[in-house]
Structure 1
């Protein structure tokens, strides 16, 4: 016999269905806790838990003195973790796909040599991918990899494994460096991301190490209206 879901979950699923169907669009104010409690025959505490869960998941936002509203749930990535973007997208219940723009071995120029700590002219692996969520581009990944540490990188079927997943499988990440800045992109990048060149973007430069080995340097460009970066830290007692 199937178990009955908790009452707060029933409210949560009701609100989520209204949000996903478009009945509650972005910036729409949802019914207050008191009304939800009456409508579903539960305590205000139970209604509060349903709302709190959807706030934590990024579907709702509370505004003090005004109420609770549907928020624009952008894709989100942590600055403290190096996660596969495919896993991030699928964790939201969405469909992940990518386009491979470049997959090649090239000679490192001055910038790449500096970022990867190799000599100018050293052969490095280079890939450019556009990562999509439900078909919409959310990230352009321009990555350079030291072949010494991941010799089979270019043989990867990137439809099945993202560059991040390949690197983690071959060289477990021990250290990561992130630098984030706002930017406007050139016409080629705008075309790949299916945006206008006037669209503000976030650019995250990431370098990753495995023990003492500097393995990868990547520029990850996100349309600012489709993506957000999250940082969370715990203060000492």
Structure 2
């Protein structure tokens, strides 16, 4: 299915996600109590459980919700919302973002293919590698690729900015298209050191592309890795009717 087809298929769960987001913002959900059970909430909203689950996954990736095994889904505390995290001052273990590397690349390989750069193009791309923390524990390792055309100069202001904000504020695209692929993998040694999980443990890989809306030109690609017992996905805001 093409990208436009994918976008059309996202509308229902985006509306559910927006409804849940509004309930979070108006105080209907509090960190101390779990959300209603999945079956009950899906019936209340008039959607199937798969649609609800995907909406919850997106809000989880953005840091509004967190799943606890055997307990349910909870609202995270205000200070650890992942789309608002910035590097904290003080001890290194308290940082919400930790930069691993940042470089401007011109070689043709994995990054250029994901950004759909032609072999004979002179355009380069930035590569940012960073880890992200929640409650001082690593929850994500992100390998980010940014097209030089849309992001000509990357500096320290990029290091602690979420992907969606990066495209909107740094790339100037207020309403980008987004495509994602999710895959379960076994953790490699290097990734395991970053995420503090054992080599061979199950992890989740999420590949995310952001496109300029008017012509579907790739702007940003990110492959992120998450411990298998954590959470998934990303988000934005739409009104449910």
Q: Tell me the TM-score normalised to structure 1 length.
A: 0.58
Quote the Cα distance in structure 1 between the aligned partners of 2:127 and 2:211: 17
Of the candidates 39, 49, 54, which is equivalent to residue 34 of structure 2? Answer: 54
| Cα distance in 1 between the residues matched to 2:192 and 2:112 | 26
Matched, 1:93 2:78: yes
> Any idea what SS the aligned residue of 1:188 has?
helix
Identify which of structures 1 and 2 has the higher relative contact order when contacts are C-alpha pairs closer than 8 Å and 6+ apart: 2
* Paired residues of 1:84 and 1:165 also in contact (CA < 8 A): no
Partner of residue 136, structure 1:
137
Residues 135-171 of structure 1, C-alpha deviation per residue, up to 9 Å, x if partnerless? 111111101010111223x214246533432222122
* Offset from partner CA, 1:53-99 (integer Å, 9 cap, x none): 7334xxx7789xxxxxxxxxxxx985996998467789643434110
Counterpart CA distance in 2 for 1:134 and 1:177 is 29
Counterpart check, 1:192 vs 2:191:
no
SS at match of 2:78: coil
C-alpha contact 1:150 1:171 (8 A) present in aligned 2 = no
CA distance in 2, matches of 1:82, 1:112: 27
2:63 and 2:234 mapped to 1: Cα distance?
17
Aligned to 1:126: 127
- Report if aligned partners of 1:173, 1:208 keep a CA contact under 8 Å in 2: no
Q: Is the 8 A contact 2:123 2:149 kept in 1?
A: no
Q: How does 1:17-166 map to 2 (within 5 A)?
A: 54-56=34-36, 78=55, 85=62, 92-95=77-80, 96=85, 97-120=96-119, 122-152=123-153, 154-158=154-158, 160-166=160-166
Cα distance in structure 2, aligned partners of 1:192 and 1:230: 21
**Do the aligned partners of 2:131 and 2:194 also contact (CA within 8 Å) in 1?**
yes
Aligned equivalents of 1:150, 1:83: Cα separation in 2: 28
1:225 aligns with 2:234: no
| Aligned residues: CA RMSD | 3.7
1:215 paired residue among 219, 228, 231: 219
The runs of 5 or more residues in structure 1 that have no matched partner are 1-11, 17-52, 64-75, 232-237
Do 1:173 and 1:209's aligned partners in 2 also have CA atoms closer than 8 Å? no
- SS of the residue corresponding to residue 99 of structure 1 reads strand
Q: Residue 134 and residue 91 in structure 1: after superposition, are their counterparts in 2 closer, same or farther (change >3 A)?
A: same
Residue 181 of structure 1: which of 180, 183, 202 is its match?
183
Q: What secondary structure is seen at the aligned counterpart in 2 of 1:54?
A: coil
TM-score (ref. length: structure 2): 0.57
Paired positions, count: 167
Cα separation, partners in 2 of 1:132 and 1:61, compared to 1, 3 Å? same
Residue 207 of structure 1 deviates from its aligned partner by 0.8
- Residue 203 of structure 1 deviates from its aligned partner by 0.5
